[in-house]
A and B are shown apart, each in its own frame.
Chain A
Amino acid sequence: MNELTRAIWRSWDWRPEVLAPLLLLGVLFTIGWLRLRRARCAGRASVHLAAVWRLCSYWLGLLILALALVSPIETLSNQLFTMHMVQHLLLAMFAPPLIWATDPMPILMWGLPPTWRRAIGRLLFRKTAPARPLLTKLTRPVVAWLAFFIFLWGWHDANLYNLALRVEWVHDLEHLTFFVPAMLLWWHLSGAGPRLHRRRSYLTRVGFTLASVPANMFLGIAIALSDTVIYTYYETVPFRPWNISVLDDQRLGGAIMWVPGSMMYVLAVIVLVGLYLNAEERKPPLDIGRLRREGKFDAPLPARPVRKTP
């Protein structure tokens, strides 16, 4: 391993303000998961919720968030556009579906002491909860989609992007405004709890997923096919690892946003269609005999008797 690669591998930014909340969420989830697993009175629902894959998926989601925010991916994002796009992809496209796939809310609630659990339910989620109307309005699917689209395109404006790289807190704000709408979007796509809105069918969610593709794809295409350097900050960087030129770096970053970013939605569509077909298969077969006895197959009678014209 040469000097440069060794230096890059050692470039971890152990930020406690990032790691501490992730650790708290991981611990709460694990406690809730263990409680559900140990609950003797529990029925099939708790066994289903406390499946091992959920614990693995949740921790993998948290690990991806940590990788995106403290690993060399984060430290190199100020030098390489490609690394910045990888970081955004991890934050908005990989971590949220892994976290939501576990349906984390009930498990996290089980990780809390009962009084806290009830207080949170009373404040946020019960039908009469004071914050529920506001929460429901703010997290509508259209709002989530628009927020994701606006923040994604807005932050890729050259001036805002350059500013985010120059000022650390703006960079943090950029990540937060990518991550929160992405979480909202994937929450609707996954159909996980808390259920503040009308439950959508699998096919509606497939449509919503497909409607989310253009936001990512067209921006990725525009960046990948650009012949000029859009993000001029990278021209001022004193040296570029691996000798990749600014324009090639930009094209590669755009392609990463375009292809793997869109692929995550395609995967989501495949999973949703699979779940839909599975649910259809589990429906009881039609009782043809009963339907025939009830006359459901008879041709409908005309509403009025047909008169012969003279």
Chain B
Amino acid sequence: MTPFPAQRRPTRFGRRELLLLLALIWSIASGARPAVAHGGGRPQLVNHPLGDYILSVWTLPDPLRVGTAHVTVALAQTTAGGPPQAALNREVWLTVQPADGGPAQRLAVTHANAANKLYYEVDFELPSVGEWQFVIETADQPAVTAAFSAPVAPARSPYTTPLLGGLGALALVLGWAALGRRRSSP
């Protein structure tokens, strides 16, 4: 029994329905956030002391650019000389400010924003280029903070990815056509 036989038209699921399904799936997939799961990105602080905690921080994208940024925080705690364990469900805050002064953003860094619930994560907007200051603190030890600074580059054009995709598709089509022509020529 071949799958290419038929003159019979399907009654329940036809081309229109398939296009709708593809459009639905495309719309879901195109809403995909940038890959930010499980502490990826550039490590800014690694095993840095923060009061009773050991702090690690990563930032995405790498390098940071104007637009949406993502910060991942890992809090560990050493108990009775054993290996460090995840310190979970703490209140963690991030303050972001241009290094040369300007309005600061104070953001809650939470498990809710994280794919890996052992980490704390937050998304926020970086509005301008230049050097930015990042300060991490926990609510139970507000007097102790950890800070780092990082340069923020200009935003990448929103057309870059579709343009590259289009060029790739065009190259494929041209390659296909060239192959077909070579095959058909005597």
Cβ 8 A contact of B115, one of A11, A42, A109, A121: A11
Q: Do the beta carbons of A115 and B35 come within 8 Å of each other? A: no
Taking CB atoms, residues of chain A closer than 8 Å to B6 are: 114
Stretch at the interface among A151-159, A180-188, A208-216, A232-240: A232-240
Q: Do the beta carbons of B117 and A10 come within 8 Å of each other? A: yes
Q: Do the beta carbons of B116 and A76 come within 8 Å of each other? A: yes
Q: Do the beta carbons of B83 and A240 come within 8 Å of each other? A: yes
Q: In the complex, which of the residues A13, A74, A172 has the most CB atoms of chain B within 10 Å of its own CB atom?
A: A13
Q: Report the interface size for chain A: residues with CB under 8 A from the other chain.
A: 59
Task: Count A/B pairs, Cβ under 8 Å.
Answer: 132
Stretch at the interface among B13-21, B91-99, B124-132, B146-154: B13-21
Q: In the complex, which of the residues A10, A134, A172 has the most CB atoms of chain B within 10 Å of its own CB atom?
A: A10
Q: CA A240 – CA B15 in complex, angstroms? A: 50
Q: Given A24-B21, A118-B4, A167-B40, are A130 and B115 also a contact pair (CB < 8 Å)?
A: no
Q: CA A7 – CA B47 in complex, angstroms? A: 21
Question: Which residues of B51-91 have CB atoms within 8 Å of chain A's CB atoms?
Answer: 54, 56, 74, 76, 82-86, 88-89
Taking CB atoms, residues of chain B closer than 8 Å to A121 are: 3-4
Stretch at the interface among B24-32, B101-109, B136-144, B163-171: B24-32
**In terms of DSSP, what is the predominant structure of the interface of chain A?**
helix
User: A277 an interface residue at 8 Å Cβ cutoff?
Assistant: no
Q: Do the beta carbons of A7 and B118 come within 8 Å of each other? A: yes
Q: CA A240 – CA B47 in complex, angstroms? A: 13
Q: Do the beta carbons of B10 and A7 come within 8 Å of each other? A: no
Q: Do the beta carbons of A116 and B18 come within 8 Å of each other? A: yes
- The minimal Cβ–Cβ distance linking A15 to chain B, given in whole angstroms, is 6
Q: Do the beta carbons of B1 and A42 come within 8 Å of each other? A: yes
Q: Do the beta carbons of B29 and A115 come within 8 Å of each other? A: no
Q: Do the beta carbons of B18 and A12 come within 8 Å of each other? A: no
Q: Do the beta carbons of B1 and A43 come within 8 Å of each other? A: yes
Q: Do the beta carbons of A109 and B3 come within 8 Å of each other? A: yes
Q: Do the beta carbons of B46 and A236 come within 8 Å of each other? A: yes
User: A140 an interface residue at 8 Å Cβ cutoff?
Assistant: no
Q: Do the beta carbons of B35 and A168 come within 8 Å of each other? A: yes
Taking CB atoms, residues of chain A closer than 8 Å to B31 are: 16
Which residue from chain B places its CB closest to the CB of A244 in the assembled complex?
B83
CB<8 Å pairs between A and B, sample of 29: A7-B111, A8-B117, A11-B117, A12-B115, A15-B37, A16-B28, A19-B28, A20-B28, A21-B29, A24-B22, A27-B21, A42-B1, A45-B1, A75-B115, A78-B39, A78-B40, A79-B38, A110-B3, A113-B15, A113-B18, A114-B6, A114-B9, A130-B176, A168-B36, A168-B37, A168-B40, A172-B35, A239-B84, A243-B82
Extra inter-chain contacts (14) besides given A31-B13, A109-B3, A238-B54, CB under 8 Å:
A13-B115, A15-B32, A75-B37, A77-B38, A78-B38, A79-B118, A111-B13, A113-B13, A114-B6, A117-B3, A117-B4, A238-B84, A239-B118, A240-B83
